[in-house]
Amino acid sequence: MAKSEKKRETLKAKVERLEKQLSWYKSFFDNASDAVFIVQPETWCILDANEYAATLLGTSRDNLIGSTLPQFRRIFKLLQKSSSPMVLSELSFETQNDESLMVEVSARFVQYDGKNLIQAIARDVSEQHALTDKLVQADKLVLLGQLSAGVAHEIRNPLAAVNLNLQIFKRNIPENAPEFDYVNTALQGVERISRIVEVTLNFSRPTIPDVKEVNLNSLIPTTLELVASVLKRKEITVELQLQDDLPLVAADEKQLQQVFVNLITNSADAIKTKGNIIIKTYLEAGLKHNEGEMVVVSIADNGIGITPEDLSKIFNPFFTRKPDGTGLGLPITQRILHQHGGVIDVESKVGVGTTFYVKLPVPKQFE
């Protein structure tokens, strides 16, 4: 009897140890930092998956287990052909929100109850792909800048010759002749090409800011005088809300003026016939603990607004929706602000309007 009791105690201890081990392994499975799937070949049914796998696909674990994911068919074929026990590949999934998700999958066969099952560990690489795409795009833009600067230089001389000959031709044509209008139209085209060439060269040419103390509250009214003719073409009211005792910033005054001319002109262009532009200056605390205060200039209009699709592209060189635009105004604005240690933010709603926020750091000696 004592021996039987001892045997039961030993058996009970073994069961407890196995349960503990099972709980231990299950905890590792459930709390793995990557998504883990156990997939049945041929049916592509998910026999088991951890919580992160469900979160990754935007569903619940209960819904995921028992569902089919035919994307694993390719993994199965790779495993069958491979001489290695593990394969690495990428799969694309559609989440419950109809978003495309790219994952990197390492998979292997595991034996269970005499059957081959697929154990797949997946990691979300969507952000990595997005970053790679941005780097590729950045490389393209660098090449585009080099090419466009070269092309702009080559265009300058023949364009000047065309302009000179058109001017001579115009002087020898009576104003009432039909050819006079044709020549005028051609000259306008030449002028626009010349402007694009000049802006392109300015964009590609490195510039060193002439940094001095600048009072933005004084600079903004002066800038408005420069764009007065643009504002007068439409019924646009400009309201200034300038904070008193605004700290000075360290900047190149001419370059900052270029920034504000670009932004105010864009606001005026966004207003069809009648509207308002509100320009504010104020102080804002830095977002990071080691950042000081920022001087902010916001330029808000009640124009047509920018679509969400276009909003992500507005700082890309040569992107524009304006028939006569160059697509370089905002990229140049952004570059100037970056040279000054500043940033530009934008928020927009179609049919409501757009607000640009120019943010410049307050130098320690000016605080």
Token pair 């001579």 in the structure block, residue: 168
Distance between CA atoms of residues 159 and 149, nearest Å: 15
Using CA atoms, how far residue 252 sits from 11, 149, 192, in Å, is 83, 24, 28
Going 201 to 345 to 339 to 281, the CA torsion angle's sign is positive
The rounded distance, in Å, linking the Cα atoms of 308 and 74 is 36
Would you write out the chain's pLDDT as a tens digit for each of its 367 residues? Answer: 566 666 676 777 776 777 777 676 677 777 777 889 999 998 999 999 998 888 888 888 899 899 998 888 888 888 888 777 888 888 888 777 667 788 888 888 988 888 889 999 888 877 666 665 665 565 555 566 556 666 666 777 788 888 888 888 888 888 888 888 888 888 888 887 777 676 666 555 556 667 888 999 999 998 898 888 888 888 899 999 999 989 999 988 888 988 998 899 999 999 988 899 999 999 987 654 445 788 999 999 999 998 888 887 888 777 777 766 667 778 888 888 888 888 889 998 899 999 999 999 988 765 4
pTM to 2 decimals?
A: 0.48
Tell me how far apart the terminal alpha carbons of the chain are, to the nearest angstrom: 89
Q: 89 and 77 in contact (C-beta within 8 Å)?
A: no
- Determine the Cα–Cα distance for residues 146 and 121; give it in Å rounded to an integer: 44
* C-alpha–C-alpha distance, residues 134 and 360, integer Å: 26
